[in-house]
Amino acid sequence: MAGYSNNKDRHLQRLRRIEGQVRGLQRMVDEDKYCIDVLTQVSAVTRALQSFSLELLDEHMAGCVVEAAAKGGREADDKVREASEAIARLVRS
């Protein structure tokens, strides 16, 4: 079971809203909407994805990372390194 499973419904709802926003972008391009308005909408989708990933990461740390840390040893190190790498990808993307 993944660490975010308690909030699965909320995450799915969120992702469906993001999917709707991406379809909205397609409509805007299809109707030749003004570039700047399309760009504003892209920023909104990017921020929504960012919020989603920050929440997922928070749940992951409060769940898997804390659990592994409680056990200690090699697994704790691995989980921290893995989380750090995921954070670096988020910060750099």
- Chain residues binding a second copy by CB under 8 A are 1-5, 8, 11-12, 15-16, 18-19, 22-23, 25-26, 29-30, 32-36, 38-40, 42-43, 45-47, 49-50, 52-54, 56-62, 64-66, 69-70, 72, 76-77, 80-84, 86-93
Rounded to a whole number of angstroms, the minimum distance from the CB of residue 40 to a second copy is 7
What amino acid is encoded at 17 in this protein?
R
Instruction: Please report how the helices 8-30 and 35-60 are oriented relative to each other, as an axis angle in degrees rounded to 10.
Output: 170
Distance CA 2, CA 11 (A): 13
